[in-house]
Structure 1
């Protein structure tokens, strides 16, 4: 019920459109009920008048029927227009709310969440919530408004018929939906869970297609996807079967209620207590009255899925709220960028039972250049993720600061940490915008002159001079109009604009040809002159520029010293760094 109320609060900005849609939908139902009832009376009266050979005024009922038909058509059109517009407005509200929630999640929550799960929340869960107003809330409101009006008019003719009709409405609108909701409530979570697993496995299959082909494991992976797909389809089948059964039971209740009304009225007509033409009118009145609740079973079938989707999205929202409440505990402080040091003390990290890092300690002094060297799986990437705050710290401490002031890294706000530490990863994302827009992600207040200077220092000037639109050149989705080396140098230009105290480089020359590698190296040298540098690399050209090299193996520091010292003392180190 809490999630239902929170969904109602999301509807608040658009409540006028939703109330108008509810009014028009109710008017459509009432007009249809009145049209069918009056049509039944009119046809029966005309037949009775013809048999009796008497005249009757058919202009008034014919005009009423035409008026109700026009009202029904106009209100139906207006209801479709207004309710669907309200649905789109609510969907945009939910999507904006969801994206705002994700944008406020801290680095740890984003890094430790599986991307497929977040995508599933964005797509499946948000799409599920667009049914809330149109398929759930609207039928409930229409039933609450129209049923009392219908019952009052029906009871004015015959209370027993009204009671029979009301009993049928309760069965279709309350009892049957409650049974369906209880039955499907357990399956709704499993359906969403299987959908998320299936999306994740399909994503893994596509991204790992090359490796699956190499190791001839594609068949097993496809079989796994088939099994998940079969389970998911079984859940869908159960829900659709329940919906089909509810439609069948609803139709049976409607027919039985109409039959009960006829059985009740026939003796009254026979005894003369009721005019014979009212038999047709009340029978059709009962039949048409069920339009007010026929959508409720489907609404209650959809309700568990919508509430589960809302629960997952609100869980993220609550996490953000908790982080906001704890934001006062985070420190917004300023350090002297020229004297900022980074200290790691007894850092250990585990993946399940695997020790990725064990008692790693070292200091990155102000203006110092430190490299981390090690084979694949030695803990280099884990260490960088911990340093940048992307992963939670399990054991040990990381402090950032100068001689007069130092703070633990995890106690600093995201803004403070980001202003002092810049990450230059192997894969740098280029947004679908202009060159100036991409550069200003790092420094929103950067001037044109500052951007041009950064482009020059990042060795981008020859490429930039060939651009007809200069800084207004669009780089395309994912930077498809720039090469890998140019993308890396754009990242360096961003780092120059940000002027970080600490620059973290993750294999900055990996995957580049010799010419691009040399250009990127020259650009990195420009950044390194004013910042402390921590780089993961095996490139001897970069290692010779380092003040200190830390050699990691199996998550432990084997040795540290200058590149020259390690090369002369350890043959294994030479083999590791001369693979180029």
Structure 2
């Protein structure tokens, strides 16, 4: 019920369009009921008049029938336009809400979520919610409005027939949906879960298709996808079977209600308590009245799936809200970008029972260049994740000196932290936009002159001068129009524009040819002259430029010092950093 109310709140901005659609849908149902009832009375009256050889005024009922037919057609057309437009407006509202939620999630929540699962929530769960108004809320509102009006008119003719009709309406509109909702509630959770798992597995399969082919594991992975698909299809079959059974039961109830109504009316006609022509009118009146609730069973079949999809999306929203609360409680300070020193003291971190960092302590002074070296699994990536806030700090402290006053790094707001520490990852994402748009992600208000200066310092001037469109050059999806070395230097240009107090570099020269490597190193030297630098690298050329080197093994600091001193004192360090 909570998720249902939260969905109603999402509808609030577009309530006028939704209420108008409800009004038009109600008019359509009432016009159809009236049309069928009056048509039955008119045909029976004409037949009776013909048999009796008397004349009757057929202009008025014929005009009424034509009027109701026009109203039904016009209101149905208008209702389709309005309700579908309201559905699209609601869908837009939900999509914006979900994107806004994702943008507010902290790094930990994003890192702990599978990207395929987030995509599934963005697409599948959001698409499931587009049924909320049109297939669920609208039938409920139409039933609430039209049933009392229909019962009022029917009881004016015969209370017994109205009671019979009302009983059938309650069975179709209340009892049957309630039973279906209770039955399908567990299945809907499993269906949503299997849908998410299937999409995640398919995404992983497509992403890792090369590796699957290399290791001849495609059939195994495809079998796994087939099993999930079969389980998902079984859940769909259960829902569709329930839908088919519901349609059959609804039709049976409608026919029984009409039959019982006829049985009730016939004795009244026989005793002349009711006119014979009213038998046809009331019979068709009963038949048409069920149109007001025939969509309710289907609505309650869809409702559990919609609520489960909503629950997954609202879970993200609650996480974002908690992150915002925590973020609002953190400090927003202006850290001195030229005089901030980073001090790590007694840092411990572990994944389950496995220790990643064990009592790590060192200092990165202002304008100092420090490198971290170590074999795979030594804790380098974990350390970077702690510095950038990607992982929460478990034990120890990371502080910044701000003109002599220590500031806990994890007490800073996300915006302040981003201004203080910037990370240049080995895999840097280039957005499908222009060169200027990519640069302005780092500095939204950067001028043309500032962007060109940053590109020049990043050793991109020759490449930039050859671009016909200049800063308006599109870089392509994932930066496909630039080389790997150019992509790294664009990232360096972004770092120059942002001018953080501390820059973290993750294997900045890894995977580059010698020419690209030299260009990237020259560009990094420009950055290093302006900020404090902490870099993960095993490149001897970079290590020689460092003021201090932290050597990690098994999460512990083995040694630290200058590159040349470590080379002369530790044979293992030589094998770790020497490239043949």
Normalized against structure 1, the TM-score is what? 0.97
Partner of 1:38: 38
Q: What residue number does 2:378 align with?
A: 378
- Greater CA deviation, 258-267 or 373-382? 373-382
| Alpha-carbon distance in structure 1 between the residues aligned to 2:9 and 2:431 | 34
Separation in structure 2 between the aligned mates of residue 517 and residue 163 of structure 1, nearest angstrom? 86
Paired residue for 2:162?
Answer: 162
| Residue 544 (structure 1) shift | 0.9
How far, CA to CA, are the matches of 1:209 and 1:394 in structure 2?
37
Describe the SS at the equivalent of 1:452. helix
Cα distance between partner residues in 1 of 2:299 and 2:579: 64
Q: Is the 8 A contact 1:112 1:391 kept in 2?
A: no
Greater CA drift, 218-227 or 517-526: 218-227
Contact 2:431 2:438 (8 Å CA) reproduced: yes
Is the CA contact (8 Å cut-off) linking 2:336 and 2:403 kept in structure 1? Answer: no
Contact 1:335–1:405 (Cα < 8 Å) also in 2: no
Q: How does 1:17-56 map to 2 (within 5 A)?
A: 17-56=17-56
Aligned residues: 580
| Paired residues of 1:432 and 1:475 also in contact (CA < 8 A) | yes
Distance 1:229 1:172 in 2: 33
> Whole-Å Cα distance in 2 between the matches of residues 470 and 216 of structure 1?
46
Residue 506 of structure 1: how far off its partner (Å): 0.7
Give the 5 Å matches for 1:533-544: 533-544=533-544
Q: Distance in 2 between matches of 1:36 and 1:147?
A: 16
Report how far residue 569 of structure 1 moved: 2.1
Deviations 1:284-317 (A, max 9, x none): 1100000000000011111112222222222222
For the Cα contact (< 8 Å) 2:348–2:395, is it kept in 1?
yes
CA distance in 1, matches of 2:359, 2:221: 38
For 2:408, the equivalent position in structure 1 comes to 408
Q: Secondary structure at the match of 1:96?
A: helix
Which shifted more, 34-43 or 355-364? 355-364
Give distance in 1, aligned partners of 2:325 and 2:381. 31
CA apart distance, 1:198: 1.4
- Cα separation, partners in 2 of 1:211 and 1:417, compared to 1, 3 Å: same
* CA–CA separation in structure 1 for the residues paired with 2:32 and 2:336: 76
d(CA) in 2 for partners of 1:200, 1:111: 16
Q: CA deviation at 1:403?
A: 4.7
Residue 548 (1) aligns with residue 548 (2): yes
Q: Which residue of 2 aligns with 1:304?
A: 304
Measure the CA separation in 2 of the matches of 1:324 and 1:502.
Answer: 25
Report deviation, 1:217.
2.7
Show the counterpart of 1:9: 9
Task: Determine the structure 2 residue equivalent to 1:82.
Answer: 82
Determine helix, strand or coil for the equivalent of 1:549: strand
Partner of 2:573: 573
In structure 1, runs of 5+ residues without a counterpart are none
Distance 1:528 1:14 in 2: 53
Cα distance per residue 1:337-365 (max 9 Å; x no partner)? 22211111222222222222222221111
| Partner Cα distance (1:156, 1:421) in 2 | 77
Matched residue SS, 1:331: coil
Structure 2 unaligned runs (5+)?
A: none
TM-score, normalised to structure 2, is: 0.97
Deviation at 1:509, TM superposition (A): 1.1
- Conservation of the 8 A alpha-carbon contact between 2:350 and 2:356: yes
Distance 2:275 2:335 in 1: 93
CA deviation string 1:251-295 (max 9, x = no partner): 110010000111101111111111111111111110000000000
Contact 2:328 2:413 (8 Å CA) reproduced: no
Matched, 1:182 2:182: yes
SS of residue in 1 equivalent to 2:338: helix
Q: Tell me the distance in 1 between the aligned counterparts of 2:224 and 2:202.
A: 10
Structure 1 CA distance, aligned partners of 2:213 and 2:576? Answer: 29
Structure 2 match to 1:521: 521
Find the aligned partners of 1:391 and 1:57 in 2 and give their Cα distance: 84
Aligned equivalent of 1:229: 229
Does the CA-based 8 Å contact 2:327-2:414 persist in structure 1?
no
CA contact (8 A) 2:422 2:502 kept: yes
Corresponding position of 2:102: 102
- Higher alpha-carbon deviation: 39-48 or 251-260: 39-48
RMSD, aligned CA = 1.4
* 1:380-411 per-position Cα deviation (integer Å, ceiling 9, x unaligned): 11111111101111222211223522212111
Residue 428 of structure 2 aligns to a residue whose secondary structure is: coil
| Cα distance in 1, alignment partners of residues 335 and 405 from structure 2 | 7
**Matches of 2:558 and 2:22, distance apart in 1:** 72
